[in-house]
């Protein structure tokens, strides 16, 4: 299937190799996959696995170490040649079959199906330049009915944040005022989200909100075409609202018989150990000062690019908190939301029912309490 490549031809570029090094050295990433696989040894024992986009082959080797009897390691790029060498070096050439091909073109012998698909397909803010489409295609073609996906779900989270590296610190930088420079930075980033590590103390929302939850076992390629949310969150302190921070979390199956299910999670958020994905921040052209409890209202649309299907376009709108519906309960301190929170505390059963009805993107206003609505009108 693949011609013999001398070592110098494994890569299209020096940069490709650097990217694989960066990913391998991303310890939360590599450790999450290792832990997810090794903690499910009882599942992997004797199973057939497919690794979609195996790169250097490390995830395939984890599966073999966990007891898989066969691993199809699919890799479209020339690094497949190196994966073969690494498989051999680890003496798994009888278990792992490296296939140098796009997964779309792969045919397994006898139309074999696999018990699990392992893949590290995530891009910046989960979907950007990722390869989830290929993984879903592989799932529909190769995964047994009751097969497992590693990871099995993924969530994109959002939170308002401060970005001091592009704002405040330039007001007095070594005794020099560099506001013009900072403005230039922000202008240059207005159409290009910034990839950076947001510090925990720069998170400005009382809580994060999920833009979407992706079920890797069921969602289809067209489910990934666009996501949208309108949300209001209270500021968790006095500060400057300077950007919207986007990150993701992946959850792996816990197939153990253990009653205390504790699935492995790969969390790339600002409160976790930094990863090579860092966080993605849409920088506001002008900051907004906020005080503790102030409502921050925004709308984010994430849509697949019509030309390059592996890219997504982000559209952030900052909204008037008075003019939009607030979640139930809401973390902001507008009078209406404080009253609802207090009401829900006093009527836990009823409020739970309400929350189930109204939570989510298309939530309805609560119309059963005129006082609250008039409070909203007044505030």
CB atoms within 10 A of CB 25: 10
User: Residues 1, 173, 213, 218: which binds a copy of itself (CB under 8 A)?
Assistant: 173
User: Residues 12, 107, 112, 177: which binds a copy of itself (CB under 8 A)?
Assistant: 177
Tell me if 286 contacts a copy of itself by CB under 8 A. no
Which residues ranging from 201 to 240 are in contact with a copy of itself (CB under 8 A)? none
First and final CA of the chain: distance in angstroms? 69
Considering the complex, state which of residue 139 and residue 189 has its C-beta at the smaller distance from a copy of itself. Answer: 189
CB atoms within 10 A of CB 307: 6
Known catalytic membership, residue 129? yes
Q: Closest Cα to residue 61, out of 118, 146, 144, 20?
A: 118
Beta-bridge partner residues of 176? 173
Residue the block writes with tokens 């898989």? 68
Angle between helices 370-378 and 335-346 (to 10 degrees): 150
Considering the complex, state which of residue 56 and residue 242 has its C-beta at the smaller distance from a copy of itself. Answer: 56
Q: Of 25, 45, 93, 129, which one is the catalytic site residue? A: 129
Listed in order, strand segments (DSSP E) in 201-262 are: 209-215, 226-234, 239-251
Tell me if 180 contacts a copy of itself by CB under 8 A. yes
User: Residues 19, 178, 319, 324: which binds a copy of itself (CB under 8 A)?
Assistant: 178
Closest distance of CB 213 from a copy of itself, Å: 29
Helix or strand or coil: residue 172? helix
Tell me if 167 contacts a copy of itself by CB under 8 A. no
Which residues ranging from 22 to 81 are in contact with a copy of itself (CB under 8 A)? 24-25, 30-31, 34, 56, 58, 61-62, 65
Judging by beta carbons within 10 Å of its beta carbon (0-12, 13-18, 19+), is residue 378 exposed, middle or buried? exposed
How many residues sit in the footprint of a copy of itself (CB under 8 A)? 39
Q: Which listed range, 118-126, 176-184, 255-263, 346-354, lies at the site for a copy of itself (CB under 8 A)?
A: 176-184
The residues, any chain, with a CB within 8 Å of residue 338's CB and separated by 6 or more, are none
What φ, ψ does residue 67 adopt, rounded to 5°? 115, 0
Q: What is the C-alpha separation between 57 and 35, in angstroms, rounded? A: 16
User: Residues 1, 21, 42, 374: which binds a copy of itself (CB under 8 A)?
Assistant: 21
Tell me if 181 contacts a copy of itself by CB under 8 A. yes
Tell me if 273 contacts a copy of itself by CB under 8 A. no
Q: Closest Cα to residue 20, out of 31, 30, 5, 28?
A: 30
CB 116 within 8 A of CB 49: yes
CB 211 within 8 A of CB 157: yes
Tell me if 20 contacts a copy of itself by CB under 8 A. yes
User: Residues 3, 4, 7, 109: which binds a copy of itself (CB under 8 A)?
Assistant: 7
Q: Of 120, 152, 208, 249, which one is the catalytic site residue? A: 120
Known catalytic membership, residue 322? no
Q: Which residues bind a copy of itself (CB under 8 A)?
A: 7-8, 10-11, 14, 17, 20-21, 24-25, 30-31, 34, 56, 58, 61-62, 65, 82, 85-86, 89-90, 165, 173-181, 183-185, 187-188, 192
> Could you give the residue numbers annotated as active site?
120, 129
């Amino acid at each position: 299937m693949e011609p013999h490549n001398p070592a110098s031809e494994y890569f299209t570029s020096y940069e490709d190799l650097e990217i694989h090094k960066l990913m391998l050295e991303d310890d939360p990433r590599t450790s999450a996959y290792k832990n997810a696989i090794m903690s499910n040894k009882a599942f992997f024992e004797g199973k057939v696995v497919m690794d979609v986009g195996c790169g250097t082959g490390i995830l395939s080797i984890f599966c073999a170490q966990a007891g898989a009897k066969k691993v199809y390691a699919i890799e479209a790029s020339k690094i497949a040649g190196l994966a073969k060498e690494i498989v051999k070096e680890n003496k798994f050439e009888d278990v792992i079959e490296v296939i140098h091909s796009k997964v779309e073109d792969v045919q397994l012998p006898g139309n074999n199906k696999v018990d699990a698909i392992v893949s590290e397909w995530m891009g910046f803010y989960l979907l950007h330049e990722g390869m989830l489409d290929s993984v879903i295609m592989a799932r529909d073609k190769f995964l047994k009915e009751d097969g497992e996906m590693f990871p099995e779900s993924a969530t994109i989270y959002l939170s308002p944040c401060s970005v001091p590296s592009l704002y405040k610190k330039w007001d007095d930088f070594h005794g020099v005022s560099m506001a013009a420079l900072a403005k230039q930075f922000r202008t240059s980033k207005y159409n290009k989200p910034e990839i950076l590590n947001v510090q925990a103390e720069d998170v400005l929302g009382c809580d994060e909100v999920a833009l979407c939850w992706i079920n890797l076992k069921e969602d289809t390629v067209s489910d990934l075409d666009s996501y949208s949310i309108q949300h209001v969150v209270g500021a968790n302190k006095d500060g400057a609202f300077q950007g919207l921070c986007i990150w993701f979390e992946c959850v792996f199956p816990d197939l153990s018989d253990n009653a205390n299910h504790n699935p492995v999670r790969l969390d790339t958020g600002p409160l976790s150990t930094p990863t090579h994905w860092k966080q993605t921040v849409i920088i506001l052209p002008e900051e907004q000062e906020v005080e503790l409890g102030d409502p921050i209202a925004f709308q984010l649309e994430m849509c697949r690019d019509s030309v390059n299907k592996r890219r997504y376009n982000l559209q952030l709108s900052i909204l008037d908190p008075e003019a939009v519906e607030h979640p139930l309960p809401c973390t902001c301190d507008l009078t209406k939301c404080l009253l609802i929170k207090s009401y829900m505390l006093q009527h836990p059963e009823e409020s739970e029912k309400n929350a189930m009805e109204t939570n989510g993107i298309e939530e309805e206003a609560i119309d059963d309490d005129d006082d609250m609505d008039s409070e909203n009108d007044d505030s």
